[in-house]
Every structure is written in C-alpha cells, then in structure tokens.
Amino acid sequence: MIRKYQKMGFLRTCSTFFLALVIAGAGFLSVKAAENSPTDLLAEGHEWYQQGNFEQATESWTQASTNFQQAGDHANHIQALIYTSRALAEMGKNLRAQLLLQTAVQTAQTHNHPQLLAQAMGQLGALHLKVGETEPALAILQEGLKVARDIQNRPLIATLLNDLGNTHVSRKNNAAAIAAYTESSILADSLDLHPLSIRAMVNASLVELKTDAISNATLRLQQASDKTKSLPDSHEKIQNFLTIGQGLRDISRKDTEHRATLFTQASEALRQGIHSAKAIGDWKQESYGWGFLAELYEEEGRHREALKLTQLAIHASQQGQAPEALYLWQWKTGRHLKQLGQLDEAILAYQRAIDTLQPIRQELVANLPTHPTAFRESIGALFFEMADALLQRENQLTKGSQQEKLLYQTRDTIETFKAAELQDYFKDDCVEVNQARIQPIDSISPNTAIIYPIIFPERTDILVSLAGTIKRITIPVSEKELTESIHRFRTLLEKRTTHQYLPHAQSLYTHLIQPLESHLESFKIHTLVFVPDGALRTIPMAALHDGNQFLIQKYAVATTPGLTLTDARSLDREQVHMLSVGLSEGVQGFAPLPNVQDEIQDIQDLFGGTSLLNKDFLSGNISREMKQENFTVVHIASHGKFAQNPKDSFLLTYDQKLTMNQLGELIGLFQFRETSLDLLTLSACESAAGDERAALGLAGVAIKSGARSALATLWFINDQASSTLVHHFYDQLKQTTHTKAQALQAAQRTLLEHAIYRHPSYWAPFLLINNWL
C-alpha cells in the first residue's frame, strides 16, 4: 500500500534545521525585515511548512526567491530556492524541486557560497534518492559532505551524514549506514541540534531492525521517543512520533516476548503524534496518526476497534482535504469490513477508495519507487482486494442474475486497474482517451470465448464470457506456483533443439484450459481471446499443449490488454491501404535481416501500396508518408525491442531508433481521420524472457499507437520463418473471409506442418493483440 510514511521510512533532514542554520551560522537574513519583505516571506513560509501547508509555503518562498534575486541578494535567493524545493518535494513535485536545486547549486558555485552549495547538494542528493536514483544521490551527497568538511561547518556535516546514511541503506550497505547515522546523531547532539539527532537515531534503529539487532533498535527508538517529547509541536515532531510508532510496531512482530509492552509503546508514540497534529491544526498528519494506530489494532486482530480508528482517520483526512490519505483509509475500511464478514459494506468502501484514488493516481504514481512491480504491488492491491470481496460475495449467492452482475463488476474492477497500469507504463493519458471511445465487446461473436484470468496470492480465478454469458472457474493454484511454471515454460520454449518446454506447456494447459473445455465445446467456440494478467503476458497461449496437440491446432488465439481497450470493428478488406517498410541490411550495429526484402515484396504483390526499404526507410520518410496518406495497415519488418521502461523501447529505422512515443505520435494521427489504422505489424521485435513490465509494453503497443490491432513477436525469431509466417498471414487475409485471429492460426499451423519450423519457438511468439476480427 502507498503511504506517506513507508513501512521502513527513513527520515530526511528537516527544513527547520536549515532555517536555524542560516540564521545562526551564516549571517544571512540579518537585515531588519520590513512588512512583506522577502525576509518576512521566508519566515512566513517556514510557519506554513511546519503546519504541513506546503502549497502556502511554496507560494511564500517562491515570492521571496524572486524578490531576493531582483535585489541581487544571491545568498538569500539560493536559500529561498532550497526551501521551495523542499516544499515541492513534500507535495510530490519532484521534477520542479530538482530543477530549483540545480539552479541553487549553479548559483552557489558562481557566487562562491560553499555553505549553501553543500546545503543544496545535500537536498539534491536526497531528492535523487527519493526517486530511486541511488548512484547520483551518493555522488552528490559525498561531494556536498566534502564541501561541508572543507569549511568545517559541523551542523551541515551532521545533516549530510544523515542523508548519506539513507543512501547507504538504499544501496544495502547497512554497516556504512549505521556508522553515518551514529556520527550524525552524536555530532548533532553536541551542537544541541536535537531534532536532527533524533532523526539520525530513528534511522539507525530502523537499519538495526532490518539486520535483526532487536535490542539496539528498541533502545534507540525508546530514547528517540523520550527526546521527541521535549520538542515543540511541529511537522517534524509529528513525523518523528509516527515513524517511531511504526518502528516499534515492526519490532513487536519479531520480539514476541515483549509484544504487549511494545504494542503499548507504539500506541503511545502514535497518540503523541496525533496530539501534536491536533495542537497545530494539521488534519492530514492527524489522519495518518489515526490510520497507523488502526493498523496497530488490526495486527492484534481487533478489527472493530481498528474500524473505529479508521473512521477517525477518514474524518481527519476529509477535514484536511487530503485525498491521498482519504483513499488509504477508505481502502482500510474495506479491509476491516471484509474481515468482519460485512461484504456488501466492504465493497462500497473499496469502491469509494477507488473513486477517491482515480483523480490523484498520477500524482501518487510519480512518488513510487522505480521497481518494475511497484505499481501493481501498491495501487493494484486495492483493485484486487475489491475483486476478491466481490467474488467472496458471489460465492454466497445461488445462481442467478445477481451472481452474474457481481462477476461483471469483478471484471470491470480489474479492467479499471489494467487501464491504469498501461497508463502508468506509457506515462500518458492515451489509454483513458481510447477507453472512453470504445464499447464493451462481450456479445460480438457467438463463437468467441473471452478468457479473463485473475491471479490472487492463493488461487487463480478465470472468468469466461461465452455468447453473452459469464462463468467463473476457480483454480487452486497460487500466484507463486503459477508464476514459476510460466517462467520455466517461457525460458525453455525458446530452446529450439529440445522439447523440455512440453511438461510445462501441458501443466499450464491443465490449469488454464482443461477446466473450460466442456463450456468451449458446448458453445462451439473456435476463437479464444485471452486478457492475460501478470506473468501470463510473457507467454504465447497458442503453445499450450493438451498432451496430443497445441492449443493453436484447436482454436484461433488472440490477446488483449483489456476488453474496454479494444475497438471491435472488423477489418475492411475492400479498403486495405498498405504501408510496408523494413530493413534487410545491417545498420547501427544490428545484424542484417536478408529475408525482409522478399517479405516486403510479397506484401506488395498481395496488397500494393507504398513500400520503404533500407535507405528509403528513414524516420523522416515514414513520418511524411503517415502524415500524407490514410493507411489502414502498416507493416514494419525491422529490429525492435520492448523494455521495462518504455523510453528504452524502439523500432530500428535506417537512420535512427524510433521510440514508442514517436511511433504513437505518428500513428495517432489516424485517430482524427475518417479512416483508422486497422493493423500494425511489427516483425522481428522482442521482449525479455520473464519480464512482465516489458511484456506489458508489447501488450499495449496497439493501444499506445492508436491501432485497432497489432501483430508482434515476444522474441526474435528466425528471419526466414518470420517471413514465411507473415506471408501466409497476409495471404489468408487477402484470399479468405477469416478473421485476423483465424488468419494467424492458419499461418501458425502452416509452420507447424513444416519440417524445419514445427518447433513452437518459430511460430508461437507471434501474438495478435487487441482486435481479433
């Protein structure tokens, strides 16, 4: 779950200390302030900051910065920039904060202000660390510490040591982290900088907790709690108490002998934080205090008391107009109610949390760590918990319309998550735009089954839509077990000289297809459309095996990242206008693809249109063609890659790498024309084995580009095999009434019957994505 204070949230150096440092040590701000002077604005911003009103603090400090700059007061201009960046970072506006700090560093270097230079470097390093950039964080903090030591500024040295300790933690260098924190705390104490000393002490305790030095961690937190009580009520005092409370809670999980005592101490620390928040009118921080206290009671199994405390957290976050806190406690309310068996009320609470989350989701995502699974594990957990509650409620009903309604609501909940997940991957709103103009597609084809797996930690549910009905099948296989089987299958499938993949292909068939077979037969299904979840995105379903034959030998197969993301209009075969482009020559260090020239010629023979090959396949040429012509099919035969980060995904042209964003901008032009792009084929592309994030990019390529369908490959395959399959695919589209899914099935079966290409590594990686008609 996303939260303001992470489970092991290490405390950064506070703005209060920086202000005290400037006043006491540097001699800045010494001019007597006139009314509305920039000096007054600095002090005013500080007051807003301590009350947790970061927007007002930003406004005051920004104005002060401008005034100081106009007056030529470089020192105070730098200081105001540093303050403003801190407030911006608290609001999650990390890029703006980073730009201000870079300006502060440059100005401090230009005008020779080493103290402010070290201070700006410290905050810039901490900001890099916040967004997961540990290498630049370490370099900048070490440089800033060197500057502080050179000028023998002991308060700054103590400050930078604390932030350096945080960086060592992120790099898993726990011994160096504890050493940095300990030196920071001792030095800060000697300078009577007690807030900083407390922060370093708390941070050291959290590292010791991670390394199971339980006694040391407990002692440090208890000492930090005693010291924090003497601080005046402020934003930093609240942060200290809430972090101490969470730390003591985490210790109680390991130190069962003293669990009752630690529970009491954790509860007291959190209540102290709440008391301080009430004293300064900080509703938002008060809501976190009540919420964390509720979590403490939840761990003790005291769900009714936890529910009451969560209601107080909701009230405080509403009063403080803090939706980023409100959605958390609405979410928690759903969890408590589910534990108490009140499923209808739980579902309503979960829905309120989702409704609160949606307008602020992008802002929250900006503060997530860069780990590939961060979005799913944090934001996604809410949607999956609601889906689980809906399915539990469905279990309680007898068969009927209400049961079907709950199944559709479950699917809609996961659909909302899938759209959000794609938007997070591509970092723009293209998914929401497409989703808004596309209608549900359950009843389009009576011979098509839509297979919708939902993977939960302890089981997998499959929702199957057939001819306007929906059914649920529960598979007793855990997420861990299923994911391991998927990864083994995916890795072994590319080994063309062995059949080691086969047991895993059969195991997955047994889990995912066999329970559906009676339904598929009774409805005379000929096409399966999968909406894969998690690791299932990384494998070709066509290669699953029943012991006698592959799935593709029985059914046409397509995949889509989401039903509400699919434009279900069929291909207009009479109006095909083709653009085919490719590289047969080796360029930019990539190997040649000698069969591409024949591949492009075959397409030309079938459909005519425009072709660009090798030196004609320039980024400028393809841009010009797409702007001038209303193509309905675009075929690109070139090296391409889908990566964890969409910025690293590309298609190779003769002169450069075309990014997914650039491709999306070009193809996006078709969305505003009468003739849309029916099919985008990417031949010779790949995504890394087992990389769910990269596979998400591949799955979303049609969505991102604005095409109704995409044909792409999970891994790079034999050049001749690729050209052969592509030729048969287009020939089927030209010569028959087959859907795109059936055309791909026929092409894959052709390779299956080939003496050389029968191994699934040659034909299975081709995926038909999104529209299958």
Q: Pull the structure tokens for residue 358.
A: 């949606």
Q: Pull the structure tokens for residue 54.
A: 């970061």
Beta bridge mates, 401: none
Strand, coil or helix: 469: strand
pLDDT of residue 691: 73
Cα dihedral 651, 653, 655, 661 sign? negative
Please name which of 644, 623, 718 lies closest in space to residue 687, comparing C-alpha atoms. Answer: 644
Pairing of strands 766-770, 709-713: antiparallel
Distance CA 654, CA 468 (A): 48
Distance CA 384, CA 376 (A): 10
Beta bridge mates, 8: none
E runs forming strands in 595-703:
610-613, 633-642, 650-652, 657-659, 679-687
**pTM for the whole structure:** 0.83
pLDDT of residue 435: 52
pLDDT of residue 433: 46
CB 361 within 8 A of CB 327: no
Give pLDDT < 50 ranges for the chain. Answer: 1-8, 14-34, 433, 436-437
For residue 457, the Cα-to-chain-centroid distance in whole angstroms is 19
Pairing of strands 527-530, 578-582: unpaired
Distance CA 314, CA 333 (A): 9
Q: Which amino acid is residue 119, in one-letter code?
A: Q
Buried residues in 35-49 as b, exposed as e (16+ CB within 10 A) = eebbbebbebbbebb
Distance CA 235, CA 11 (A): 12
Geometric angle at alpha carbon 369, from 130 and 307, rounded to 5°:
100
The H or E element spanning position 582 is strand 578-582
Question: Following CA atoms 663, 665, 671, 675 in sequence, which dihedral angle do they give, to the nearest 10 degrees?
Answer: -50
For residue 297, the Cα-to-chain-centroid distance in whole angstroms is 30
CB 336 within 8 A of CB 350: no
CB 748 within 8 A of CB 542: yes
Distance CA 416, CA 411 (A): 9
CB 81 within 8 A of CB 101: yes
609: left (phi over 0), alpha (psi -120 to 50) or beta: left
pLDDT of residue 13: 57
Beta-carbon count within 10 A of 552 CB: 25
Q: Tell me how long the chain is.
A: 773
Distance CA 74, CA 28 (A): 10
Distance CA 665, CA 628 (A): 14
Distance CA 378, CA 410 (A): 19
Please name which of 459, 635, 668, 464 lies closest in space to residue 563, comparing C-alpha atoms. Answer: 464
For residue 441, the Cα-to-chain-centroid distance in whole angstroms is 27
Distance CA 239, CA 289 (A): 10
pLDDT of residue 147: 95
Q: Pull the structure tokens for residue 514.
A: 């066999």
| Tens digit of each residue's pLDDT (9 = 90 or more) over 465-513 | 998 899 999 999 999 999 999 999 999 999 999 999 999 999 999 999 9
Buried residues in 628-642 as b, exposed as e (16+ CB within 10 A) = eeebbbbbbbbbbbb
pLDDT of residue 669: 61
Distance CA 255, CA 248 (A): 10
Distance CA 448, CA 4 (A): 45
pLDDT of residue 695: 72
CB 680 within 8 A of CB 711: yes
- 394 φ/ψ angles, rounded to the nearest 5 degrees: -65, -35
Please name which of 138, 630, 699 lies closest in space to residue 418, comparing C-alpha atoms. Answer: 699
Distance CA 453, CA 464 (A): 8
Distance CA 613, CA 532 (A): 35
Rg (C-alpha) for the chain, rounded Å, is 30
Q: Pull the structure tokens for residue 214.
A: 């339980």
Query: CA end-to-end span of the chain, whole Å?
Result: 39
pLDDT of residue 431: 55
State the residue for tokens 């950064």. 12
User: 305 exposed, middle or buried (CB, 10 Å; 0-12, 13-18, 19+)?
Assistant: middle
pLDDT of residue 12: 59
State the residue for tokens 């969470």. 246
Beta-carbon count within 10 A of 647 CB: 11
